[in-house]
A = this chain, B = another copy of it.
Amino acid sequence: MAKRIYFATGNQDKIKEAREILTEYDVEQIKIDLPELQGTPEEVAAEKARLAYGKVKKPVFVDDTGLAFHALNGMPGIYIKHFLHALGHDGLVKLLKGFKDKGATAFASIGYCDGKTTKVFIGRCEGKIVKKQDKGFGFGFGWDPIFSPNGYKGTFATLNSEIKNSISHRKRALDMLHDFLLGK
């Protein structure tokens, strides 16, 4: 029987993706209220995983995502959703107007806790911030329309989901979790 692991998220797509990667595991969704914390991605993921374990009392992981602008030394990072909400896509692009370096790192931080061990896995996808490009049906998901991964012409919002998922920060973080769980 496959070992069970809990994924604390409200997002069905994330569950689906986790099940596709953690093939030896029975990934169970669990919806719990966790605080949104300030801190480094590592600190926040570790603390959220510990809090989740405190509620679930079973091996559990959480995930967070962020967008680090190189010119801003990593900001907005995990605060990107507040910036996107306040500024919109065009405002985020404008934020870099005073800076030559348009590079950005999309990252997913997965925090895992089983009561004994707490681990953080950060998956990264390098790229740059570009003028909004989507498929023309609205804004796309989050900041996807302004993030263009290295090696591709379009943004995350214009790539087909198979390509996107194969290079995404979350995929990489899930792969790292998978290797850890398998003792690799």
Contact = CB atoms under 8 A, between A and B. Distances in A.
A82 B75 contact: yes
Contact of A87 (B38, B72, B82, B91): B72
Interface residues of A, number: 25
A94 B86 contact: no
Nearest to A97: B98
B91 A72 contact: yes
A162 interface: no
A142 interface: no
Contacts of A37: 35-38
Interface string A36-48: 1111000000010
Going nearest first, the 9 A-B pairs with the smallest beta carbon separation are A97-B98, A36-B38, A73-B86, A94-B98, A75-B86, A79-B79, A75-B83, A98-B98, A74-B86
15 contacts: A35-B37, A36-B37, A36-B39, A37-B37, A38-B38, A38-B79, A38-B82, A72-B83, A72-B86, A72-B95, A74-B86, A76-B76, A95-B98, A96-B98, A98-B98
